[in-house]
Every structure is written in structure tokens, then in C-alpha cells.
Chains A and B, each alone.
Chain A
Amino acid sequence: MDEIITDILVIGSGAAGLAASVYAAESSQQILVIDKGAIGRSGSTVGAVQIASLGSWSHREDSLDAYQQDIRESGRGLSSPVLTDVLVQDISARLEDLLQWGLKLDKNEHNDILVAATSGHTIPRSISSKKGKTGLAILQVLTKRAKNSSNIKRWSDVITLELVKANGRVAGAVVLDLKENKSYLIRCKTVILATGGIGQLYSTTSNPAQSTGDGFALSLTAGAALVDMEQIQFYPVSLIHPPSLSGLCLSFYHLAKLYNRNGERFMDKYEPETMENTTRDKLAIAIASEVEEGLGTPGGGVWVDATGNIEEVKRQFHHEYQLCLDRGLDLASHLAEAGPAAHFIMGGIWIDGDAASTTPGLYAAGESAGGLHGGNRLGNNALSECIVFGARAGKAAARESARMKSITDGVPLQTKKADKIINVISNSEQGTERSYACKKAVQTLMGKYVGVVRSTKELLQAKAEIKAIEEKLDQVKITSSPDFYSKEILDYIEAVHMVTTAQAIVEAALTRKESRGAHHNKNFPEQLTEVKHTIVKVENGKMTVQEEGEV
């Protein structure tokens, strides 16, 4: 296998990966950032609308304490105090950096920075850029900066198969350049994982095609611990119709009214004080419960009426309004049919305040990291997390790399999973299973058994079905020529990662015997007094789960 050498390998080029690269590049270390799609245009960051932050625009009552209190309240006891502290301490300085590098914030008619209220934030602190295309705007600023840094190399269409270790630490990765189906061993001093979330493990999702949870599978195989993987945020109000927009988040739900099939404004039963303007976990559970009781719409959701606040919707959420209009749904005069869609994972790679995982040499930032948001993420805190912890990861990895004398030159690096993947691909002519169909099978079963409302029986069923898909994957059939880009190969590798990550989610969900935050198990509807985290690891090739107190 050909080898490539760099000091720091960054995997993923959303807001977290690009922030990590740019801050790491302030050192003299060499940085290689790779992405399985087009660099800077393939993750969830692209779709993000607003970012929560403290700064010169902050309301008079806002403070580090107030912000931290909101996150911890929303986290249902699972938010790490260390991580929430870092977020609120660092956010305004990171935003200042972005502004200096060219980010322009949206303004109101008086030329003041537009600050929006978001459910669960007790004080309005959401700001935006490019008329609500904030994620894209941040990516553009970071990409420009990365391009201008002479020590950052960017490499698109390269997927990671396995992280490799030497002397007990992560020392590189095996990757496949999809353009020519050629594998490479990258040797480095430190790796930063920023591969985003898991939406594509579900059939209905707001997430882009690349959100197949690869980073969780990669880090598990490298021995790192994952925290609270059962905590998955379902965006409560996502379009069901038209199918081409299925999963589209209707971010204006706090400005709308929701009705069940009988025309009842059902939130009156669940959250009479806040009604629709409540946190995502509560709203998703309320909607899913209505549907379970047979009170859902024909498409299995609820009706959304935005007509009462349509001017505000058009102003703050123009892209969503226009997209619906283009597909024949005029929100000014019609109801939308919507329900929960997989949106964000609060759990993830267990990190410390410097974004270091439990495996030496491996850092994680952004949605791949876990523990900051606990049981429920507040809107617009994901982008904040990406830039704060991306920066932390970049700086810490650069410090550690600078202290290390050499890259593990010449040391044989053990690979296992990658060898198997490459082997299955080489022998796939005789296979029988289409890789896209295996992905679809994972999505169907996760949607059916590991959705908003769960039960132990369904989780056990999910576990059995995932195992069966894992076995099928060894019999994958790849018909396209191995000399060129092959979507079948990409789908196969993603399916392999999806299966491992799905197993981790199900194991964590089976272990949490209560309902807390986004994890709602019908058999254990109460929240226990004692707060425990689920910790998933792979030890000696076997997945294990433990429960731990304060982490």
C-alpha cells in the first residue's frame, strides 16, 4: 500500500474539521484534511441556519452563566459540566475570529445585528449570516482560510476505512481514494475525527447523504469510548410530503400551530405552558405519541399551520419557505404534513475539554464528539460546538504533535477492518447483495425499532436484524469496474460503518433502563433519580457497554 506522511490528519471537512485544520495550521505542523465527498460541501454544516453565541449583540441579561444554565437544563443531567464550561467560555472569541476572517452577520432594518429567539434558550442569542445560510457562510470563510494556509493540504473523495495504531496510540489511517479506488496508508502523529452525525442510519432524516456515522465506528475500532449513544435528536417537525423534500426541517415550528388528525391542538395536553415552543425532545415525543395512538395524519405525522405568522416565517426562514413553494406547497395558505426525522446525535466520542478522546493520539470535534448537549441539544448550539471544539482539537493536536519527535516511520501498523473491506471488495463479483440495499435495510430497521418511542422488545429485534445485515455485507456484489469511481463501493464501506454504529446505538439504548432526554422507552417511562451515562467500547473485538456516574 502506498504511504502518505503528515503531522496531523483531519477526517471530515464540515465546520468542525475545517476549524480544526485552520487553528492547527497556526503551528508549523503539516495538516492533511480529507473528506469522502467534496471538501467543505458535504456535511450537515451546509444546511445550518443560525448559530448561538455570546458577543457584542448579546442581550443585557445574557451571560456565561445564563447560557451554561440553559444548556445544562436542556441536557437532562447528561451535559458534561467541563464541556459546557468550555463552550460558553470560548464561543465569543471564536465568533470574533470568524468575523475578522470575513464572516458578515445578518442585520435588521435598523442595521443592528439580527438576534433571534430559539426554543429552550431563555434569552435570544441566535445570530446568522447570508440570510440564514450560516453554515455555508462559515464553511466559505474557513475554506478560504484553509486555502491560504501553506501547511494545509485538502483531499476530496477519500473515505476512511480504519484508524491504525502503533505503541497504543492512533498513528494514522487507511483510506480509499474513491476517484481511482486506490488505498493508502496515512502515517501521522495525531488524528482529528470530525465526520459528523448519523442521520442516514434512518429512513427519514434531515441529514445529507454523507451522515452515515462513520466516525463512531472508526473510533470504536481504535479503542475509544463513546458516551450516551442512545441520545438521538429527532427534529420534531420535518416534512413528510412532498417525498423529494422528506426530512426537511421546518425550523419555524415555534411560530406555527400543530394539529392532530382530529384538528386538536394536541400540545395543550403535553406542554400547556409552552405549547409548540418547547424543546425538541419533548415535542418529538409528543408527536410520536399522537401517531402511536392513531391520531396521526395519513402520512404518519401531524398538521403544521404557519399561516398565522407567515410574514415572520418568510423573513427568518426564507430558504425553507421558498423550497416548499417551489415544490407546490404554499405555507401561506396550506397546512404542511410533518413528523420527526433523525437530525442530530448528542452522544458520541467521549472527549475532554481539549477534545481528546480516551485513545491517545485521537481527537474528536463537532457532531462526532459526545457529551456537551447531554439528553437534548438546544437549537443552534451545534455550530457553536463545531467552532469551539474544532479550534480546541486543532490547537491541542498541534501542541501534542509538536512535542512528538517523529511520525511512526517504518513501524508496522496493524490493520484489520481495512484488510477485510478491501478483500470483500476484491472478491465481490460472486456476491449477491447490493450495497445500497444493505444501507436501506439498516435505515428501515432503525426507523422502525430505534425511533422516537422505543421498547425493549423492539431494541432486541433491531439487534438481531443488524447482525443479519452484517453477515449479508460479506456477500456484497459489486458489478462496477474497480478502476473507476464506484458508488457501489462507497455504499458498501458506508454500510460497514453504519452497522457498527447502529450496534453501538442499540446497545446503549438497551442499557439505559429509564426515559431521559431523547431516549424514550415505553417499558421504562420514568426518569431515574440517579444520573448515569452509557459508555460503549470495543474490547478484544467485542462491543461492551457500561454505566457510569459523572464523567
Chain B
Amino acid sequence: MSRLVVKIDRSEMRTDQYEIDLKTGRTVLEAVEAIYHHHDPSLAYRYSCRTGLCTTCMMLINGKPGLSCMKMAEPGENGVLHLAPLPKGRTIKDLIKEV
């Protein structure tokens, strides 16, 4: 199975890189979930409905704001999937913004 490189901008100016299976039909949220389960238990992220309604899973996906439960986990132009917290407001940790 081919691999997907996921780069995540985290708290304290840290950027971590993970390699996960590239699966068709996998959302960004599912990719983040797989990283929390199998690679890094300290990763913090927020979500609720998984159906595009609550907007709490919003993050920067390959540089653009998007709902992680709705966007597919696919590499951007530079071949990696790049995730970061939204730029506006205080970041509580990693991908979680204060509400």
C-alpha cells in the first residue's frame, strides 16, 4: 500500500512528520485519528459531528482552512499533507483553537 506523509504544525513551534497508509476515501480527520491512535498519543485535535455541521474540526489543510471531517486525506502540491491550526485566535494545543 502506498504511504502518505503528514506534516503537522504543533504547539511550541514544533513540526512533526508522520507516515501513514494512503487509503482511498479516508478523510483528514480519520488520518489525524490514526496518528493519535498509532503514532503519537500527545497529538491534540478537536471534532464532534463528523458530518460537516459543527465546524469544530476546522484546520489549515495544505494551507487552506477546511473541515477535516469533510476533506479527503491527500497530499498537497509538495507531496505531503500539511496540517496546521487556524491562524486566527489563541491555539490551546496543536490543532485545537480556543472557542
Query: Do A and B associate with each other?
Result: yes
- Interfacial residues, chain A to chain B (CB-CB below 8 A): 37-39, 41-43, 46-47, 133, 136, 156-157, 179, 208-210, 242-245, 248, 319, 323, 326-328, 434, 436, 478-481, 484-488
Q: Which residue of B lies closest to A242 (CB)?
A: B25
Checking A179, A323, A479, A487 against B45 with a beta-carbon cut-off of 8 angstroms, the contacting residue is: A487
Interface centre among A39, A46, A136, A485 (most CB of B within 10 A): A485
Q: Is B52 an interface residue (CB 8 A)?
A: yes
- Interfacial residues, chain B to chain A (CB-CB below 8 A): 11, 25-27, 30, 36-37, 41-56, 69-70, 92-94, 96, 98-99
Instruction: Knowing A39-B99, A243-B25 are in contact, say whether A157-B92 is a contact too (CB < 8 A).
Output: yes
The reply to whether B44 and A42 form a contact with Cβ atoms under 8 Å apart is no
9 shortest interchain CB distances as A-B pairs: A480-B42, A485-B93, A38-B99, A208-B48, A41-B54, A46-B54, A484-B93, A244-B27, A42-B48
Q: Which residue of B lies closest to A154 (CB)?
A: B99
Q: Which residue of A lies closest to B70 (CB)?
A: A326
- Please indicate the chain B residues that have their CB under 8 angstroms from the CB of A38 in the complex: 46, 48, 54, 56, 99
- Please indicate the chain A residues that have their CB under 8 angstroms from the CB of B52 in the complex: 319, 323
Q: Which residue of B lies closest to A322 (CB)?
A: B52
CB distance from A396 to the nearest CB of B (A): 29
Instruction: Knowing A157-B92, A484-B93, A485-B92 are in contact, say whether A41-B56 is a contact too (CB < 8 A).
Output: yes
Checking A210, A480, A485 against B48 with a beta-carbon cut-off of 8 angstroms, the contacting residue is: A210
The reply to whether B48 and A486 form a contact with Cβ atoms under 8 Å apart is no
Whole-angstrom CA separation of A43 from B54 in the bound complex: 9
Checking B37, B41, B47 against A479 with a beta-carbon cut-off of 8 angstroms, the contacting residue is: B41
- Please indicate the chain B residues that have their CB under 8 angstroms from the CB of A487 in the complex: 36, 41, 43-45
The reply to whether B44 and A41 form a contact with Cβ atoms under 8 Å apart is no
Instruction: Knowing A41-B48, A436-B37 are in contact, say whether A208-B54 is a contact too (CB < 8 A).
Output: yes
- Please indicate the chain A residues that have their CB under 8 angstroms from the CB of B53 in the complex: 46-47, 133, 136, 319
CB distance from A328 to the nearest CB of B (A): 7
Whole-angstrom CA separation of A244 from B45 in the bound complex: 17
CB distance from A337 to the nearest CB of B (A): 14
Checking A248, A434, A436, A479 against B42 with a beta-carbon cut-off of 8 angstroms, the contacting residue is: A479
Instruction: Knowing A42-B54, A244-B25, A328-B25 are in contact, say whether A484-B11 is a contact too (CB < 8 A).
Output: yes
The reply to whether A485 and B44 form a contact with Cβ atoms under 8 Å apart is yes
- Please indicate the chain A residues that have their CB under 8 angstroms from the CB of B51 in the complex: 47, 245, 248, 319, 323
CB distance from A459 to the nearest CB of B (A): 29
- Please indicate the chain B residues that have their CB under 8 angstroms from the CB of A481 in the complex: 42
Q: Which residue of B lies closest to A435 (CB)?
A: B41
- Please indicate the chain A residues that have their CB under 8 angstroms from the CB of B26 in the complex: 244
- Please indicate the chain A residues that have their CB under 8 angstroms from the CB of B43 in the complex: 487
Instruction: Knowing A38-B99, A42-B56, A133-B53 are in contact, say whether A486-B27 is a contact too (CB < 8 A).
Output: no
- Please indicate the chain B residues that have their CB under 8 angstroms from the CB of A327 in the complex: 25
- Please indicate the chain B residues that have their CB under 8 angstroms from the CB of A179 in the complex: 92, 98
Instruction: Knowing A47-B49, A245-B51 are in contact, say whether A41-B99 is a contact too (CB < 8 A).
Output: yes
13 contacts between A and B (CB under 8 A): A37-B56, A38-B46, A41-B54, A47-B49, A47-B51, A208-B49, A244-B69, A323-B52, A480-B42, A480-B44, A481-B42, A485-B94, A487-B45
CB distance from B96 to the nearest CB of A (A): 6
CB distance from A35 to the nearest CB of B (A): 9
The reply to whether A37 and B46 form a contact with Cβ atoms under 8 Å apart is yes
Whole-angstrom CA separation of A487 from B30 in the bound complex: 15
CB distance from B11 to the nearest CB of A (A): 7
Q: Which residue of A lies closest to B42 (CB)?
A: A480
Whole-angstrom CA separation of A488 from B37 in the bound complex: 10
Whole-angstrom CA separation of A248 from B92 in the bound complex: 30
Interface centre among A209, A243, A487 (most CB of B within 10 A): A487
Q: Which residue of A lies closest to B37 (CB)?
A: A436
Instruction: Knowing A157-B92, A243-B25 are in contact, say whether A484-B54 is a contact too (CB < 8 A).
Output: no
CB distance from A76 to the nearest CB of B (A): 30
Whole-angstrom CA separation of A136 from B99 in the bound complex: 17
Given contacts A244-B26, A486-B42, A488-B41, 19 further A-B contacts (CB under 8 A): A38-B48, A38-B56, A41-B54, A41-B55, A43-B48, A46-B53, A47-B49, A157-B92, A179-B98, A208-B54, A242-B25, A319-B53, A480-B42, A485-B93, A485-B94, A487-B36, A487-B41, A487-B43, A487-B44
- Please indicate the chain A residues that have their CB under 8 angstroms from the CB of B99 in the complex: 38-39, 41, 156-157
- Please indicate the chain A residues that have their CB under 8 angstroms from the CB of B44 in the complex: 480, 484-487
Q: Which residue of B lies closest to A480 (CB)?
A: B42
CB distance from B59 to the nearest CB of A (A): 14
- Please indicate the chain B residues that have their CB under 8 angstroms from the CB of A478 in the complex: 41
Interface centre among A41, A179, A319 (most CB of B within 10 A): A41
Whole-angstrom CA separation of A32 from B95 in the bound complex: 27
- Please indicate the chain A residues that have their CB under 8 angstroms from the CB of B11 in the complex: 484
Q: Which residue of A lies closest to B23 (CB)?
A: A243
- Please indicate the chain A residues that have their CB under 8 angstroms from the CB of B46 in the complex: 37-38
Whole-angstrom CA separation of A319 from B51 in the bound complex: 9
- Please indicate the chain A residues that have their CB under 8 angstroms from the CB of B70 in the complex: 326
The reply to whether B36 and A436 form a contact with Cβ atoms under 8 Å apart is yes
Whole-angstrom CA separation of A323 from B25 in the bound complex: 13
Q: Which residue of B lies closest to A320 (CB)?
A: B51
- Please indicate the chain B residues that have their CB under 8 angstroms from the CB of A42 in the complex: 48, 54, 56
- Please indicate the chain B residues that have their CB under 8 angstroms from the CB of A208 in the complex: 48-50, 54
Whole-angstrom CA separation of A326 from B71 in the bound complex: 10
- Please indicate the chain B residues that have their CB under 8 angstroms from the CB of A37 in the complex: 46, 48, 56
- Please indicate the chain B residues that have their CB under 8 angstroms from the CB of A156 in the complex: 98-99
- Please indicate the chain A residues that have their CB under 8 angstroms from the CB of B56 in the complex: 37-38, 41-42
Whole-angstrom CA separation of A156 from B46 in the bound complex: 12
- Please indicate the chain B residues that have their CB under 8 angstroms from the CB of A46 in the complex: 48-49, 53-54
CB distance from B53 to the nearest CB of A (A): 5
Instruction: Knowing A485-B96, A487-B36 are in contact, say whether A480-B49 is a contact too (CB < 8 A).
Output: no
Whole-angstrom CA separation of A319 from B52 in the bound complex: 9
